[in-house]
Amino acid sequence: MTESGDGAASAPFDLTGKVALVTGGNGGIGLGMAEGLARAGAAVAIWGRDGTKLETAAGKLAQYGAPVHTAMVDVSDADAVASATEDTVRRLGRIDAVFANAGVGGRTKFLDLDPSELHRVLATDLDGALWTLREAARHMVARAETGDPGGALVTISSVSAIRGAPTLQSYAAAKGALASVTRGLAVEFGRHAIRANTIIPGWIRTEMTAGSFDRPHVQEAILKRVPIRRWGTSADFAGLAVYLASDASAYHTGDTLVVDGGYTVS
């Protein structure tokens, strides 16, 4: 499907006929985005490393009636990403939007940080996103060269990339780099009508972050600084994912969109 911006006004958020890939789409923010995309009519591919979670997530997405494809993929493995991308295109026909969301946490006192911990985090959170974006961009450029331009590359960063967070230096390094990478992609691939944007989540309650939210001092220190006065949820990312995958965002690229309930401006 070409994305000229023409005709999008009639149903700007209808994703029928589009295919979206969400890495780490079997839980948390990724699943929230995948549900929004499927509900809007997109066929959705979700990659993850936990087969049981993939199966459960696929069951949730199936209720919306659009095709769903799941795959066990370790995004830190460049060859595995290339193979999985080919398989996803073979099964679903194309990829119109990719959400590079797969990530791991990393909380270590900086003076105790060692190479193995640093590279464990970077391998998934930064390298894995790069391999995913590279393969998706290759596919989108190839389509453009046959007269079918357009596509959306989306990275999922973190509020730790723009606000200091103790003990999260390795995580922040990866997430901060993603925003810079994405701006470069927006410039490099814009001529193919491929846009690239970054989402920066704030304090979002997911399986990966659950432990932090149960601590009284976190409740006291953080929640009072969130103007909307609640933690974010995975569902808060469904609408934004639909917008970024849709023709409504055909002229929106190189941006960083903060979803944090107002935390960073309070």
Token pair belonging to 263: 């935390």
* % of the chain exceeding 90 in pLDDT: 78
> For 240-246, what is the mean pLDDT?
98
Which pLDDT score, from 0 to 100, does residue 145 have?
A: 98
Specify the higher pLDDT residue, 243 or 203: 243
Strands, DSSP E only, in the chain?
19-23, 43-48, 68-72, 97-100, 151-156, 194-201, 256-259
pLDDT tops 50 at residue 240 = yes
Residue 171 among the catalytic residues: yes
d(CA 14, CA 97): 14
Of the listed ranges 40-54, 110-124, 145-159, the one predicted with least confidence: 110-124
Which architecture does CATH list for 19-258? 3-Layer(aba) Sandwich (3.40)
Domain ranges (residues) in the chain: 19-258
Q: Count CB-CB contacts under 10 A for residue 65.
A: 10
d(CA 175, CA 209): 16
pLDDT band at 211 (very low <50, low <70, confident <90, very high): low
Which pLDDT score, from 0 to 100, does residue 7 have?
A: 47
- Spatial neighbors of 182 by CB under 8 A, at least 6 apart, are 153, 155, 196, 197, 198, 254, 256
Report the phi/psi class of residue 226: left, alpha or beta, with left for phi > 0 and alpha for psi in -120 to 50: beta
Q: Name the DSSP letter for residue 204.
A: B
Q: Of the listed 64, 171, 243, 251, which one is catalytic?
A: 171
- Spatial neighbors of 58 by CB under 8 A, at least 6 apart, are 46, 68, 70
pLDDT band at 77 (very low <50, low <70, confident <90, very high): very high
**Residue reference for tokens 């079918």:** 148
Q: Which residues pair with 23 in a beta bridge?
A: 47
CB 58 within 8 A of CB 70: yes
pLDDT tops 60 at residue 260 = yes
Q: Which residues pair with 48 in a beta bridge?
A: 72
pTM over 0.75: yes
